Amino acid sequence: MSKDDLQEIIKLATDARQCALARYSNFCVGAALEAEGGVYTGCNVESAAYEQTICAERVAIWKALSEGERKFKRLCVVVDTERLTPPCGACRQVIWEFCGDIPVVLANLRGDTETFQMKELLPHPFDAGFLEETGAEQK
């Protein structure tokens, strides 16, 4: 998939959103993660034990990582909101740790899109590099 195939990745995330299991929030989210070896999609899955709920972004990332993918190019998140929906804090941490400073495309069902770099969404990250710098992992 080339950089210009924005509409294609948005369509994949939009289709994945149809699979959302969001009976408690009714907030359906779809994600599509472009990796070196292909595109991995995800939707949010909610549990009756609410804290077990998982976001669409993390489903896509876990799917890709568990298939052996390690290099990521772009993530797309689609929600039917007028104001484009950004990844939650927990997802920002995971996206940063496993995908690095990739572009994150936010889109809705009305054709609006906006793209942010992960660095903009998580400007002062706590990550493996930080732990190494501080030497904390050796104690």
Residues designated catalytic: 57
Smaller CB separation from ligand THU, 23 or 110: 23
Token pair recorded at residue 138: 């050796």
Q: Least Å distance between CB 17 and ligand THU? A: 9
**3-state SS string for the chain:** CCCCCHHHHHHHHHHHHCCCECCCCCCCEEEEEEECCEEEEEECECCCCHHHCECHHHHHHHHHHHCCCCCEEEEEEEECCCCCCCCCHHHHHHHHHHHCCCEEEEECCCCCEEEEEHHHHCCCCCCHHHHHHHCHHHC
User: What number of CA atoms fall less than 13 Å from residue 32's CA on the CB side?
Assistant: 24
Pick one of 29, 35, 61, 104: the residue that binds ligand THU (CB under 6 A). Answer: 29
Smaller CB separation from ligand THU, 52 or 66: 52
Contact track, ligand THU, 105-134, x by CB under 6 A: ------------------------------
User: Which span (8-16, 49-57, 65-73, 110-118) binds ligand THU, by CB under 6 A?
Assistant: 49-57
Q: Least Å distance between CB 70 and ligand THU? A: 23
Pick one of 1, 19, 53, 62: the residue that binds ligand THU (CB under 6 A). Answer: 53
Pick one of 70, 88, 114, 120: the residue that binds ligand THU (CB under 6 A). Answer: 88
Site for ligand THU contains 57 (CB under 6 A):
yes
